Amino acid sequence: MISTQNNFDISFAGKVKAYYELLKFRLSFLVAFSGAFGYSLAVDVVEWNRLIYISLGGFFITGAASIVNQLKEIEFDKLMKRTQLRPLPTGRLSVSEAIIYCILLLALGSYILFIEFNVRAGLLGVISFVLYGFVYTPLKRVGPISVFAGAIPGAFPPMIGWVAATNHFGLEPGILFAIQFFWQFPHFWAIAWVADEDYQRAGFKMLPNNGHKDLRTAITIMIYTIFLVPCGFVPYLLHMTGVNSAMVAVLCGVLFLSQTFYLMMKPTDKAALMMMFGSFIYLPIVQIAFLVDKI
């Protein structure tokens, strides 16, 4: 077992920092951005107060789901280098403090989606919270089915943004969901490939094909990534955006796919790391392109 450090700042500032870390700000911010993207794509004129509301709603619910994830994995987080210094494994925050924080964030996020927008958006938000915290999280020690389970709530944010704006389900929010859904497989598996040694310490089984970092796993990643190429063109066919952003999305999909080919040729940690960074770049570029083209 990897030892954890106990000499942490327990002052007020230290507590604030611990609460900030528990929130997983970067993940919550990305979800908030995706929700704002879906909302902005759906409306003719962006109302800035409602854009802020949808961003905060997604941010709070994602933060709450992340806390559930950390509450259920305290002992496992102690075993991994990348997580051993989190607030709960180190004792900087207690379980009761984390639970209260989680309830508060969930209540705020749910209130925003249900009251400021509509029931459909609120239900999607609550479902995403449950799936991430109580389905995806325990499945991480079962097998790669966890990635499929996690990809569903992970793909909800742009759909929630669209539904919040229109109170309508249809092909438009469906394709936003599909793009983010398929993107998550190469994204998750690239991370799992790079962090495999750490994950094994905690018993997390994220990689497909019995967890082998080999050609077969690289081919599996490539198959899921292929779907991003045609999906990138569909928003144009649905008259959601223009042809310029469609071309950008398809090009980004092809470039992202080429990284999987490189991983197939050289199934190494370095190639997986490159693909991981590629996944970080792909989604915001495509979403921003769709927004700019609509303007």
The per-residue pLDDT for 11 is 76
Domain assignments of the chain as residue spans, ordered by start: 12-169, 170-295
Longest dimension (CA), the chain: 57
Q: How confident is the model at residue 1 (pLDDT cuts 50, 70, 90)?
A: very low
Count CB-CB contacts under 10 A for residue 74: 16
> What would the mean pLDDT of 134-163 be, rounded to a whole number?
95
Whether the per-residue pLDDT at 5 is higher than 50: the answer is: no
Q: 153-183 burial by CB neighbour count: b if 16+ within 10 A, else e? A: bbbbbbbbbbbbbbeeeeebbebbbbbbbbb
pLDDT tens sequence across 169-196: 999 999 999 999 999 999 999 999 999 9
The per-residue pLDDT for 8 is 57
Distance of alpha carbon 102 from the chain centroid? 18
pTM: 0.92
The per-residue pLDDT for 10 is 65
Contacts of 24 (CB under 8 A, 6+ apart): 62, 63, 66
pLDDT tens sequence across 195-230: 999 999 999 999 998 889 999 999 999 999 999 999
The per-residue pLDDT for 275 is 95
> What would the mean pLDDT of 40-44 be, rounded to a whole number?
94
What homologous superfamily is domain 12-169 in, according to CATH? UbiA prenyltransferase (1.10.357.140)
Whether the per-residue pLDDT at 2 is higher than 50: the answer is: no
Whether the per-residue pLDDT at 66 is higher than 70: the answer is: yes
> What would the mean pLDDT of 75-95 be, rounded to a whole number?
94
Q: How confident is the model at residue 12 (pLDDT cuts 50, 70, 90)?
A: confident
CB 152 within 8 A of CB 174: no
Q: How confident is the model at residue 9 (pLDDT cuts 50, 70, 90)?
A: low
The per-residue pLDDT for 72 is 96
Whether the per-residue pLDDT at 6 is higher than 70: the answer is: no
The per-residue pLDDT for 129 is 97
The per-residue pLDDT for 184 is 95
